[in-house]
Structure 1
Amino acid sequence: MNNTYAASEPKRAEIDFLRGVTLLEFGASWCGYCRAAQPLIASALSERPAIRHIKVEDGKGRPLGRSFRVTLWPTLIFLKDGKEIARLVRPADAAVISEALDRVSGTV
């Protein structure tokens, strides 16, 4: 699990060309909802070390978040080969995150 929101975001084309399973997380370090979700995300990812986790600091005018139409934090976007398979906004349960990871990984 990546513990720090990246201040510099990747380009959308880079995300679209990723191979395999990726969890793309949008949020901010000062966001209470984001901080509350961190242990849930960590728990869900702990059994899936092969899943790429990209944390992007989001905010007004940030192109990557806007390209995914992110409006609330944290927003978790589950990608397979660069394509969005699932999305969770402000998850409150690690099991829901695990289910989405299983779905995108094809283990369900």
Structure 2
Amino acid sequence: MTMTKHYAASEPPRTEVDALPGGTVVEFGAPWCGFCLRAQPALAEAFAAHPQLRHIKIEDGSGRPLGRSFRIKLWPTLVFLRDGREVARLVRPTEADPIREAMRRIA
């Protein structure tokens, strides 16, 4: 698997996300969000070191059930899951090192 380039307009149900085996990075944001755009190079660098991880990139917004179930407040927020359980979370990351470290925890 590789880094997902585009935010998905539709989101999977939380039950599906919770049932995912292995390591998953769920990214909440929006394609027009400046913070989200600035985080993309760091994400790409981190995913280059962990191509085996699943990446779900969700376009979030007011009233979106998946984002609310994870209590997302700011974009981008990265939620790092191992077998459906949250292991780490980063809000508005700007550098690859913290992302890589969180990825190591779920790889």
How far apart, in 2, do the equivalents of 1:21 and 1:55 lie? Answer: 14
In the other structure, the counterpart of 1:39 is 41
Per the normalisation by structure 2, the TM-score is 0.97
Per the normalisation by structure 1, the TM-score is 0.96
Unaligned runs of 5+ in 1: none
Q: 1:28 aligns with which of 30, 39, 46?
A: 30
Unaligned runs of 5+ in 2: none
Once the two structures are aligned, what percentage of the paired residues are identical?
61
Q: Size of the alignment, in residue pairs?
A: 105
In the other structure, the counterpart of 2:62 is 60
Q: 2:89 aligns with which of 39, 62, 87?
A: 87
In the other structure, the counterpart of 1:8 is 10
How far apart, in 2, do the equivalents of 1:104 and 1:69 lie? Answer: 20
- TM superposition shift of 1:92: 1.4
How far apart, in 2, do the equivalents of 1:20 and 1:103 lie? Answer: 11
- TM superposition shift of 1:10: 0.4
- TM superposition shift of 1:29: 0.1
Q: 2:50 aligns with which of 41, 48, 51?
A: 48
- TM superposition shift of 1:49: 1.1
- TM superposition shift of 1:83: 0.3
